[in-house]
Amino acid sequence: MPGGCARGPAAAAAAGDRRLRLARLLLVLLGWVSSSTGTSSSSPSSSSTSSSSPSSSVSAQPPPPPPPPPPGHCPAPCECSEAARTVKCVNKNLTEVPEDLPRYVRTLFFTGNQLAILPSGAFASRPPLAELATLNLSGSCLQEVSAGAFEHLPSLRQLDLSHNPLADLSPVAFSGGGGGSNASSLGRSPLSELFLNDILPPRDSQLRNRSFVGMVAAALQSGGALGNLLRLELSGNNFIYLPRDMFSGLPKLKHLDLHNNSLVGLGNLALGNLTHLETLHLGNNAFKALYNASLVQLQSLPNLRVNLDNNPWLCDCNLVDMVAWLKETNVVEGKASLSCFFPEKMRNRPLVKLNSSDLDCDPLPLDPLQTSYVFLGIVLALIGAIFLLVLYLNRKGIKKWLYNIRDACRDHMEGYHYRYEINADPRLTNLSSNSDV
């Protein structure tokens, strides 16, 4: 496995990204200028290395269109097999996608690199990679996937973006796959399998004002671009909840994998429209119970099999509906193996063997927050009691102290009183005014 991702420019800020892109553009331009002013005789051989980008076509001389890479050509760090129609650029720390990928490629492994950013049209070439069907970008330190990053890949069926810290996934990242020449057709993507396992960015990265799950949900909706998707994997993303319409743009979905997240409920997630759903993996989450609303949704899907393994089921009165449903349903895979996790005395009891007399809420289990409040209360009460005790033990000292204060006050007041009497005596005031004169 490749090591950690370098703290690339995308981690810092968007401004950095822009600067980097500008620098790249400048480099490309410089390269083109130097190659065009240099030896023009050796252009056929050097053309593949200094393949000019289409953006430099503004200059005076109309540049020759980049010739298609000769057959048998393979970008330097990669391994190509024309027979298998496969290109592998694996664990090479590449920072961008080579422009001169062979046109026959159907399967591209681009794993274990240092991409950081996937700009829009990252795989767009002229002529397009018309046969590319399987694209694996897993573990390539991708932090940003721009709008239309997979444009001009009309045959793309399977895309793996797993194990990338995706802090910025454009809401239209998956739009516009098919339209070869139609630039405006930001339409349907041909994708049928999308893998987004373990794409949670590190905590400190800036998620531009949105929640991670919201960002993923927006990209999945994409104005219905992923309408052809059949398989979606979203495991290991620490999702706690799922927005209601998260999967509403995926009407053909058959396989949905959400295992190893932190889901506590399905909330009001709209699963009802996924009428083709066949497998739903909800194992290794944090479900304690499923309630009627979710049970009805699961039961309503005609071909569904759902996996609920390894969830911390809490066997109290709130589980009654689910247990009753479990005993009846055929929807749950291996339902006999589901067992209680809480309370302690019920641990490992199979859910389907419980009856309603087992499921009561009498010994109110305190949740951690409640326990901490109780603890705080006890501590405060103790402090109060100690304070009172100290007061009580010192009652004599305190009495003495109070008396002292009272005496001091009295002395003081008497002093005032005396002075007041002196001032109030008219003879004495006269005397003092005379003596002034």
How many angstroms separate the CA atoms of 395 and 380, rounded?
A: 23
Nearer to ligand NAG, 35 or 129 (CB): 129
Nearer to ligand NAG, 174 or 195 (CB): 195
Nearest to 294 by CA among 316, 326, 337, 262: 326
Nearer to ligand NAG, 179 or 267 (CB): 179
Q: Which of 140, 175, 260, 339 binds ligand NAG (CB under 6 A)?
A: 260
Tokens for 58?
Answer: 């503004």
Question: Which residue sits closest to ligand NAG, CB atoms considered?
Answer: 236
How many residues of this chain interact with ligand NAG, rule: CB under 6 A?
Answer: 26
How many angstroms separate the CA atoms of 322 and 359, rounded?
A: 11
Q: Which of 160, 168, 257, 316 binds ligand NAG (CB under 6 A)?
A: 160
Q: Which of 48, 273, 310, 329 binds ligand NAG (CB under 6 A)?
A: 273
Q: Name residues contacting ligand NAG, limited to 379-418 (CB under 6 A).
A: none
Q: Is 268 in the site for ligand NAG (CB under 6 A)?
A: no
Nearer to ligand NAG, 55 or 209 (CB): 209
Q: Name residues contacting ligand NAG, limited to 28-87 (CB under 6 A).
A: none
Q: Which residues contact 161 (CB under 8 A, 6 or more apart)?
A: 137, 138, 142, 145, 194, 195, 196, 199
Q: How far is the CB of 292 from ligand NAG (least distance, A)?
A: 4
Q: Which residue has the tokens 């490629």?
A: 105
Q: Provide the 8-state DSSP code for 365.
A: P
Q: Which of 150, 195, 247, 313 binds ligand NAG (CB under 6 A)?
A: 195
Q: Which of 3, 62, 302, 368 binds ligand NAG (CB under 6 A)?
A: 3
Q: Is 185 in the site for ligand NAG (CB under 6 A)?
A: yes
Count of alpha carbons within 13 angstroms of residue 252, beta-carbon side: 12
Q: Which of 16, 38, 272, 350 binds ligand NAG (CB under 6 A)?
A: 272
Q: Provide the 8-state DSSP code for 332.
A: B
What is the arrangement of strands in the sheet containing 158-160, beginning at the earlier edge strand?
Answer: 79-81, 86-88, 107-109, 134-136, 158-160, 193-195, 231-233, 255-257, 279-281, 305-307
Q: Which of 34, 57, 59, 182 binds ligand NAG (CB under 6 A)?
A: 182
Q: Which of 292, 303, 370, 429 binds ligand NAG (CB under 6 A)?
A: 292
Around Cβ 128, how many Cβ atoms within 10 Å? Answer: 17
How many angstroms separate the CA atoms of 171 and 157, rounded?
A: 19
Q: Which of 51, 136, 189, 339 binds ligand NAG (CB under 6 A)?
A: 136
Q: Which of 206, 238, 423, 429 binds ligand NAG (CB under 6 A)?
A: 238
Q: Provide the 8-state DSSP code for 60.
A: S
**Interface with ligand NAG by CB under 6 A: which range of 54-62, 177-185, 274-282, 298-306?**
177-185
Q: Is 227 in the site for ligand NAG (CB under 6 A)?
A: no
Nearest to 285 by CA among 309, 303, 316, 267: 309
Q: How far is the CB of 54 from ligand NAG (least distance, A)?
A: 20
Q: Is 318 in the site for ligand NAG (CB under 6 A)?
A: no
Q: Is 138 in the site for ligand NAG (CB under 6 A)?
A: yes
**Interface with ligand NAG by CB under 6 A: which range of 13-21, 29-37, 176-184, 402-410?**
176-184
Whether omega before 127 lies within 30 degrees of 0, making that bond cis, reads yes
**Interface with ligand NAG by CB under 6 A: which range of 11-19, 178-186, 274-282, 401-409?**
178-186
Around Cβ 200, how many Cβ atoms within 10 Å? Answer: 19
Q: Secondary structure of 152-185 in the HEC alphabet?
A: CCCCCCEEECCCCCCCEECCCCCCCCCCCCCCCC
Around Cβ 410, how many Cβ atoms within 10 Å? Answer: 10
How many angstroms separate the CA atoms of 133 and 94, rounded?
A: 21
Which parts of this chain interact with ligand NAG (CB under 6 A)?
3, 92-93, 111, 136, 138, 160, 179-180, 182, 185, 195, 198, 200, 209, 236, 238, 248, 260, 270, 272-273, 292, 321, 355, 357
